[in-house]
Copies of this chain bind each other. A is one copy, B any other.
Amino acid sequence: MPIIKGPQAFPRVEFLRRLAAVKSDMVRREIDALLVSDAHNITYLTGYTTPSGYVPEGLVVSIQGEEPTFILRQMDAPAAIHQTFIGRENVIAYPETFIGDHTRNGYDMIIDFLHDKGLARRGIGIEFDNLSSQAATKFRTRLPEARIVDCSNAVTWIRIVKSDLEIAVMREAAAISDAAMLRAAEVIRPGLREADVIAEIAGALARGANGKPGTGIAGITLCSSPRTGTAHIPWSEDVFRPGSQINIELGGVRHGYAVALMRTFSIGEPSKRLRRVHDAHIAGMDAALEAVRPGVACSDVANAFYRTYEKHGFKKDSRCGYAMGIGWLEPTASFQSGDLTELKPNMTFHLMLGNWFDEDFGYVISESILVTDAGVEVLTKTPRKIFEL
C-alpha cells in the first residue's frame, strides 16, 4: 500500500515561499537548476529530516515547476513521501544495487535526471562545499556542456532569516533545552557517573517540554574536571567528585531545528577564579545583548562583548557565536571581529561565550537569541548563573 503523508511541520505555502526565495537567487545567478545536496538545506526546502544522507541524495530545484524533485535511495523514498510536502511523482528512487557499488552511485541517477530534463546544457548550480571531490569530478565530467556554478551556501544564506513559523518551532526547541539543563542540575551529585547524567539529559531532550517531544537528540557535551579546558570532548567513564566543575552544552531539537544552551555547574562552592570569570562573562553577555539590533553588524556584537570582557581582565580568542537553526550551526555569519553581516529581524544566533583559558580550565555560558524589530529576545530561559550543587 502507498504510505500516507505524515503531519507536516510547516504548511505547503511556507515551503513554496522558501523555494521562491531560492528561485529568485537562481535567476540572479543565471542558472536553470540547482542541486541541493546539503542535508540541512534539503530539510529547509522540503521538511525531510531522515538521516539518509550518508549515501548520495539530492534535491533538484528547477526554475520551471512548482515542486523540486527529490532523488534518493529506494529504501528511503517512502520516508521522503511521508515527511515532505512534495508529491510522490517528484520523489525518484534509485535502486539498492547502487549502494556499495564502487563504479556508480546515486549521483549518476541525479546526472541522468538532469540530462533527461534537458538541463544538461544549461546553467546548473551545485553546492560544491558539500560534495566530495570525487563526486564533484563526476558532475563536471558527466555534464561537460553545462555551465556549472558553485552555489555552496547559497541556500544556507537564504535561511539565515527565519519566518515566524520557524521561530515558533525554535521556541519549542528552546523550552526543551531549558528542561534538559534543569534536569542536569537536578541530578548531578558526587559519586554519580557522567554517563548517568548524559542518560538523564538525553531522556529530557527526547521527552521534550510543554507537551512537545524532542524530534532529535543533538550532541550533548559534558566536560568535567579535569577536562573543563576542552570544548567538545565526550563525557568520560568517571564519576563526579566534590569540587568538580562541569561544563555542559546541549540543544533541544524540533523538526530539525536545534537551539543550543551552555551552563557551568560546580559541586560545592565555586573557586574565586571561577566566580571572577563568571562575573566577567555576565557583564560581557549584557553588553553583547545590548548591542543586538537590526542594522548593526555581527562584529559590533562581538566587539561589545570583547570590550567589556577585557575591562574585566580577560581575553577570548574564539568567536562569540554563530547563526543557528536547522542542524545547529549554520555556516554563514559569526559574531566575530571582521564579520560585517548586517543583523536583520528574525535572524537567530547561538551567542556562545564559552572560553577555554588553560588546558585544564574553561568556563561556558551561552544563550540562543532572536533578533527582533526592537532589539533582541533571548529564547533560552535558564537562569544565567553558576549552578552550585
Contacts and interface: CB of A to CB of B under 8 A. Distances in A.
A1 B230 contact: no
Given A75-B231, A195-B207, A356-B75, A219 B128 contact: no
B334 A83 contact: no
B318 A99 contact: yes
A215 B196 contact: no
Interface string A327-343: 00100001010110000
A75 B228 CA distance: 11
A11 interface: no
B207 A234 contact: no
A154 interface: no
A49 interface: yes
A357 B26 CA distance: 39
Given A54-B329, A359-B81, A129 B128 contact: no
A52 B232 contact: yes
Contacts of A208: 195
Interface stretch (A112-120, A161-169, A197-205, A276-284): A197-205
A208 to B, nearest CB: 6
A153 B128 CA distance: 21
B76 A6 contact: no
A236 B318 CA distance: 37
Interface string A220-235: 1000001101111111
Contacts of A79: 227, 230-233
A215 B229 contact: no
A82 interface: yes
A227 B97 contact: no
Interface of A: 1-4, 6-7, 49-52, 54, 74-79, 81-83, 95-97, 99-101, 128-137, 152, 193-196, 198-200, 202-208, 212-217, 219-220, 226-227, 229-237, 317-319, 322, 329, 334, 336, 338-339, 356, 358-361
Given A81-B359, A129-B133, 8 more contacts: A1-B360, A54-B329, A75-B232, A97-B317, A99-B318, A194-B213, A202-B205, A203-B203
Top 6 closest A-B pairs, CB basis?
A: A195-B213, A133-B136, A100-B334, A202-B202, A3-B359, A199-B203
7 contacts: A3-B230, A4-B226, A4-B360, A76-B231, A82-B233, A129-B133, A202-B202
